[in-house]
Amino acid sequence: MMKIAVIPGDGIGKEVMNASMLILEKLDLPFEYVWLEAGDEAEKKYGKALPDETLEEIKRCKALLFGAAGESAADVIVKLRQELETYANLRPVKSFKGVKTIHNNVDMIIVRENTECLYKGLEFGVSEGVTVGIRVISREASERIIRFAFELAKRDKRRKVTALHKANVMKKTCGLFRDVFREIAKEYEKYGIESEEYYVDAGCMYMVMKPNIFDVIVTTNMFGDIISDLAAGLVGGLGLMPSANIGEEYGIFEPVHGAAFDIAGKGIANPTAMILSSAMMLRYLGFLDEAKRIEKAVEKVIAEGKTTPDLGGKLKTIDMTKEILKNVQ
Ligand code: NAI
Ligand code: MG
């Protein structure tokens, strides 16, 4: 049996995790699920958003399924990504049949650096009314993530890798990221993989106006966070966006969205992002067939309009989940 850590967390994290587990339990997988606590509620209960026992137990598992944390997100999920060295945050962005948005054929994947940049947490007050935050960009981490992006392009037969940065202004930090990108891009020319760069602000405009110029996108941590939600808006919202955090030895699988307190407790959260994140975990662990069965079922249910209100449907989380369950062959 493979041990899988499960952290539902706060807000809709719990609701979408329950949905996702119903789907996983239908498949005959050799998993033992280890339910753990972390997040705002854990902080109230134990005085620590990521209790030591939770972290130790996670490390004894093969992978982690994570719902969402609330205000303690930085102390939980950002910490976990650094602690478990899951340096690559993968966020596939794909149009779904049956979802009305401004574009209907988006297909790109965001590869976000996950361990440094402004997310290092190096923030200080320097004097009354003045604060600073330190942006760390290293050659080592840049090389690792950029290489990951090109390897992914090579493996999945994608045509192009685009770097988003702001090297005209952040000359040192983004400048280093850009230089490393250019070096590595050269190595992959022989595989026919193109490379391209945009300043992140212009890149955002193009993402909205002509998303098809993007294929694989590689960027630093903070920009990656922002463009992920922008990209979510292109395909129908955060309820649809799964993600994987991948390292040499560990994987964390979680929706791109957070605890969504505005809809928590109402039973209307879209479970798709979490369910597709669990499918990403199955792919990572080598259960390709099971992953495909989940993905197909989700696509079918969405195409038929059997959805939660965020996509214009009338179903509750549990009813949409039951529809998906029915279709998991
Ligand atoms: P959010 O991602 O939770 O929600 C943004 C908007 O998208 C909300 O209007 C929400 O209703 C909607 N939405 C998100 N997921 C949805 C779903 N599955 N179905 C339908 N609608 C959905 O971001 P927000 O509101 O900025 O943050 C709420 C809390 O979550 C905060 O405490 C924040 O710190 C935390 N957070 C945690 C994250 C994590 O644990 N990875 C990531 C982002 C935010
Ligand atoms: Mg985010």
Identical fold between 1-94+236-329 and 102-235: yes
Q: What is the pLDDT of residues 8-55, one digit of tens each?
A: 999 999 999 999 999 999 998 999 999 999 999 999 999 999 999 999
Distance, in Å, from the CA atom of 329 to the CA atom of 316, rounded to the nearest integer, reads 22
Q: What amino acid positions are annotated as catalytic residues?
A: 119, 166, 201, 225, 229
Q: Which residues pair with 281 in a beta bridge?
A: none
The stretch 198-214 carries a mean pLDDT of: 97
Residue 305 has pLDDT above 90, yes or no: yes
- What was the pLDDT predicted at 267? 97
Phi, psi of 283 (to 5 degrees): -60, -45
The stretch 68-95 carries a mean pLDDT of: 96
Residue 249 has pLDDT above 90, yes or no: yes
Residue 89 has pLDDT above 90, yes or no: yes
Which CATH architecture fits 102-235?
3-Layer(aba) Sandwich (3.40)
3-state SS track over 226-262: HHHHHHHHHHCCHHHCEEEEECCCCEEEEECCCCCCC
The residue written with tokens 């499918």 in the block is: 279
**Ligand 1: centre distance to CA 269 (Å):** 10
Distance, in Å, from the CA atom of 149 to the CA atom of 226, rounded to the nearest integer, reads 18
Q: What is the pLDDT of residues 158-204, one digit of tens each?
A: 999 999 999 999 999 999 999 999 999 999 999 999 999 999 999 99
Closest CA to 136 of 79, 177, 83, 89: 177
- What was the pLDDT predicted at 326? 96
Share of the chain above pLDDT 70, in %: 100
CATH node for 1-94+236-329: 3.40.718.10
Residue 58 has pLDDT above 90, yes or no: yes
Q: How confident is the model at residue 329 (pLDDT cuts 50, 70, 90)?
A: confident
Average pLDDT of the chain is: 97
81 lines ligand 1 (CB under 6 A): no
- The residues, ordered by sequence, that sit 6+ positions from 220 with a Cβ below 8 Å of its Cβ are 112, 113, 116, 117, 137, 142, 165, 173, 174, 177
**Closest C-alpha to ligand 1, atom 4:** 260
Q: What is the pLDDT of residues 142-163, one digit of tens each?
A: 999 999 999 999 999 999 999 9
Please name which ligand lies nearest the alpha carbon of 262.
1
Q: How confident is the model at residue 273 (pLDDT cuts 50, 70, 90)?
A: very high
The stretch 94-122 carries a mean pLDDT of: 95
Probe residue for ligand 1, chosen from 82, 96, 257, 308 as the CB with the greatest number of ligand atoms within 8 Å? 257
Domain layout of the chain by residue ranges: 1-94+236-329, 102-235
The stretch 261-278 carries a mean pLDDT of: 98
